[in-house]
Chain A
């Protein structure tokens, strides 16, 4: 049963990577879009694609945290004790990001909007970087078992964590650019379609290179995970690589829908490869999933909740998606923008 809950946890983590990651990536493109005049058009696409979805996307994060602390409390205590600094940065970054994005659209003069826009964009990079660093800290065995604190700094300032952070940022940027092509397409803005396609191609290559380099970093610094990636998780690694390469090809052929699917496959593949590679540990190599697990009644409750969620939430999201596809949920008064809302979920 502990295994099943671990799977649920990874469903939440990968959903967050795919949906939330793209939100952060959109912030990255916002940051590098250039000055107020030059960046106005890409920012308009970004604004309208990110805005409506970010809350629902961030529910996945809360869900993952709750499953972790309920299902594997000891691991949660170790992680939060050791990684106090990056997790605090994540929490603050989420507040700044969410709030500044919400407010930027609703008021203030250009100068103020610019400040809020900058906060939004910088925190969009800070948050995924720290999350990737946290993943790196766990994967490289720098979080000790037993609800004890590891080193507060070197646990997340090390080669694997840096690689994890950079990978998270680039992967988010890659996902976002692929999604944004589609959004620009729906806005019938060909110039922006081209704009984001060029960026998607660059981001895909960079993310691929970082992921490849990451494997060598893991070989030196996170042997257990490296061994896992090259053995039992190998099919997932291959799947991720094939999807990544496939999305490149599809992007070149302007098959945007297919590219999106492939991009999602590539990112989900990385997350699942990580999970399978560090199996059977929740904290390699000191705490096994089975040892960290809560009593069985708690695990059963989590599975029931997840089952109910599947029954209740999947149709709800499907409803949202369907209405959205039929352009029944326009932003008020801006019909050309109809149908953008489910973007994050439609992938």
Chain B
């Protein structure tokens, strides 16, 4: 094994913990970009599909058919990146799985069920366009939507359990000897976290899809097809945004009551006190001094419990042992991520409000170019907000992997080669991301070429010219 030594350090003897965390964070952050599309796009496609059948709307039909093809690509990539995560639970966190698998695995077994249903019906829906009767075909899409919702609620149940572990009995050695499956799944954090993520899936998915058509409209493609392609997803997103404000606010107050360490990090509170200011941006140093940022006096206390107002006391970081709360760097990360999430969320809310006001008073979407410009960056903004939200949850949970029971460094693999797999994974995913973007763009260009040829009036189930078949084929299977 000596050839594997560099500068006296064995290449397989590098501390795996930071690399395992980096790899998990990177692969999760990548996978989650596809999640909203997997969960909510089918619903938007069905909305277009519904309209197509009900009103005999050729544009809506074209939209639904094409969305189902794009969905096939994003679902495929989501499936493989999700498979990687399944492996990583074991490869990166074997000691966590060995000790807690009996409880932690329960939500995943339920999720497996939903994933199966989703995979089957997405195949039916994508390939059923030409030969199934319109309504029968429509109904094959409904289980995709339901499975997407069920899958989200299950996966988030697993994460919520890590934050709020429940439903197990330990023996003296710390092994799980008894499990209450319902308490594991329906742990206390679950309703808050799961609803927040479910609404996020519709919000982010809606803004993502709408932003593509906003760009198209800005480039002068203002036909009915593009308008519809914008309106359906944007309406979904604009409806989800105010709901998300309420859900998020409720969740934050729940965190205040139940996860005080995370909350102290979110609000950048060094010492327990009342009348805590809401600090926008800013950072904390290792002595507990907050610097920079804009302070809004008393707001953090007031938001935590409007009932007691500014006299609400918030537990500070120093009321927890240093090894049972996030490090200073992690606290700053959590706080910044929180500000990003809330800031972008508020901006998206204002954009949605603009849209609704315009609908109420003018019965039409806003005409201004500025609105379309903002809408075209709303997709990216929504993804960033969602990523930031997960940073808050996950970094705020540190140093625990199972809060109060197991630390992340106790959970990690002992394999020293993780730094290598991390680098490989990053390279592969970058290539993958590039390919996805290229594929989706080339599909879009191909669809536009077709429109130039056919122009409009497409019957249910258009056929592409057979001569082009090898290139025009379905990019991926269901």
Contact = CB atoms under 8 A, between A and B. Distances in A.
15 contacts: A52-B477, A55-B477, A58-B83, A67-B109, A69-B90, A79-B90, A87-B87, A94-B80, A95-B84, A96-B428, A294-B102, A305-B110, A309-B116, A313-B113, A341-B478
Interface of A: 44, 47, 50-56, 58-59, 61-63, 65-67, 69-71, 73-74, 76-81, 84-85, 87-88, 90-92, 94-96, 98-99, 101-103, 105-107, 147, 149, 152, 294-295, 297-298, 300-302, 305, 308-309, 312-313, 316-317, 319-320, 323, 327-334, 338, 341
Contacts, number: 266
A80 B413 contact: yes
Interface in B96-124: 97-106, 108-113, 115-117, 119-124
Contacts of A69: 89-90, 97, 101, 105, 108
Given A317-B120, A328-B128, A331-B127, A95 B475 contact: no
A107 B81 CA distance: 21
B415 A297 contact: no
B421 interface: yes
Contacts of A103: 435, 439, 475
Nearest to B109: A305
B464 interface: yes
Nearest to B87: A91
Centre residue among A71, A74, A85, A88 by max chain B CB count within 10 A: A88
B446 to A, nearest CB: 9
Q: How large is the interface on B (under 10, 10 to 19, 20 to 34, 35 or more residues)?
A: 35 or more
Interface in B174-224: 176-181
B11 interface: no
A84 B413 contact: yes
B100 A73 contact: yes
A313 B127 contact: no
Tell me the dominant secondary structure on chain A's binding face: helix
Contact of B91 (A91, A316, A331): A91
Contact of B129 (A63, A95, A332): A332
A343 to B, nearest CB: 11
A59 B116 contact: yes
Contact of B478 (A52, A79, A85, A298): A52
A102 B97 contact: no
A54 B122 CA distance: 13
Interface string B121-165: 111100111111000000000010000000000000000000000
B161 to A, nearest CB: 13
Contact of A95 (B131, B428, B466): B428
B88 interface: yes
B80 A95 contact: yes
B473 interface: yes
B296 interface: no
